[in-house]
A = this chain, B = another copy of it.
Amino acid sequence: MSKDVYVLGGYQTDFARNWTKEKKHFLAMMREAVLGGLERTGIEPSEIEVAHVGNFAAELYCMQGHLGAFFVEIDPAFSGIPTGRHEAACASGSIALLAASAEIEAGRYDLACVVGIEQMKTVNAAKGGDFLGTAAWYDREAKGIDFPFPKLFGKLGDEYDKRYGLKDEYLAGISTVNYANAKHNPNAQTRTWYMNKGHALCRNEHNAEVGGRIRIADCSQVTDGAAAIFVASADYAKKWAARRGVGLDDIPRIKGWGHHTARLRFVDKVAESKDDEYVLPHVRSTITDAWERAGIADVAGIDAIETHDCFTTSEYMAIDHFGITKPGESWKAVDEGWIELGGKHPINPSGGLIGAGHPVGCTGVRQVLDAHHQVKDSAGDLQVKGAKNVQTLNIGGSGTTSVSFIVGV
């Protein structure tokens, strides 16, 4: 039995939409993603054997649990199929994919649908910020604090500053690249926004501070969105490829993955890593585990990255943790333009969480879908030329749960 897991394609909703304003339940969003994905992949509903849903906190945003079961409501053919919901804060989508891929590797099923979903615009910004605090240790790090997460990721910048020095202009550079890439992404939340380097660089009242060194332009978006992908065993993928007139070798697969969890509180993470060259060593292990499983030596084997830029500081951290620069020298990659779409290490061709948007439980699935488009050479204006291996990094909490996938052909 081959243990390969193939990614057949999928669908992402338009992240600029506000489903509350449209007076629609999140089921409508899930339905659009799944039915859209089935249409694009030419898969029949009756072929789906199992469904895994990634969602962070519909209990809070939508007063609804049991998200897996909503999958069954999408199509009569789904009645009876096994479902489950998986959560690890902002890494929920990746946790759902890990559960789905494990079941395929184990031979339980041949074809799974993985849906990442979050409807966040049901509440105002302050309440939403409080809800996001439940991704940290709420009682100790978030309760009674306005917008706890920008503050936590501000501290990540502070830690870099302390250990290696950090100039705000490099954070602004990261923001600029993400907004610029998003301009070309037809599903990006910010694609029509006015945003340029001058604005991102502006560190005054025109770009308000929300948490220490984190300003508005450093933040990812509050987003309603869903993404569905279909993952399959070699047996199913072979048949599916044949009916599309292509070979199994043309179908992207998950070549490697990594998954680690650090301590919850940011202060405990930093205390643990004080003698380490990496600020978040468990994130580093997540990345290198994925390389090891994929048989890739280092970042030179990765053609593009979709990373978790919940704030500019998390992408700044990702740059050296991926080994694009030595630890503490991420600024070089920004300065030299390496992370831009035409650069030697393009990061977030999609625009990432800052430009494309960050529907929390959806993000990990959206990243893998974008990676799939890249290696299929079907990413349109976002295409990284000749991309064969694309790596994702999805992070829950303040660097707590991290998951990485390498999708390649």
A residues touching B (Cβ–Cβ < 8 Å)? Answer: 3, 25, 56-57, 59-60, 63-73, 79-89, 95, 98-99, 102-103, 105-108, 134-139, 143, 259-264, 272, 281-282, 285, 396-397, 400-401
Contact = CB atoms under 8 A, between A and B. Distances in A.
Q: What are the 7 A-B residue pairs with the smallest beta carbon separation, nearest first? A: A105-B106, A82-B259, A102-B102, A65-B134, A59-B59, A66-B89, A84-B95
B71 A261 contact: yes
Nearest to A135: B66
A353 B56 CA distance: 28
A303 B207 CA distance: 68
Contacts of A135: 65-66
B84 A87 contact: yes
Given A87-B87, A106-B3, A260 B65 contact: no
A99 B50 CA distance: 13
Given A59-B60, A66-B264, 4 more contacts: A64-B139, A65-B87, A66-B397, A80-B281
Nearest to A401: B69
Contacts of A108: 102, 105
A63 B401 contact: no
A108 B254 CA distance: 14
Contacts of A64: 134, 137-139
A396 B87 contact: no
B84 A88 contact: yes
Contacts of A71: 261
A57 B106 CA distance: 29
A73 B140 CA distance: 13
B102 A69 contact: no
A261 B68 contact: yes
24 contacts: A25-B139, A64-B134, A64-B137, A65-B134, A65-B135, A66-B397, A66-B400, A66-B401, A68-B88, A69-B396, A69-B401, A70-B264, A72-B262, A72-B400, A79-B263, A79-B282, A81-B261, A84-B88, A84-B95, A86-B86, A86-B99, A87-B87, A105-B105, A105-B107
Given A59-B59, A102-B102, A67 B79 contact: no
B260 A81 contact: yes
Nearest to A50: B259
A81 B143 CA distance: 27
Given A3-B106, A99-B102, A264-B73, A67 B82 contact: no
A260 B25 CA distance: 24
A320 to B, nearest CB: 19
Contacts of A259: 82
Contacts of A282: 79-80
A363 to B, nearest CB: 15
Contact of A103 (B102, B138, B139): B102
Contact of A106 (B69, B106, B396): B106
Given A72-B264, A134-B59, A66 B81 contact: no
Contact of A60 (B60, B138, B281, B401): B60
Given A65-B57, A106-B102, A79 B262 contact: yes
A318 to B, nearest CB: 18
Nearest to A85: B87
A272 to B, nearest CB: 7
A9 B356 CA distance: 46
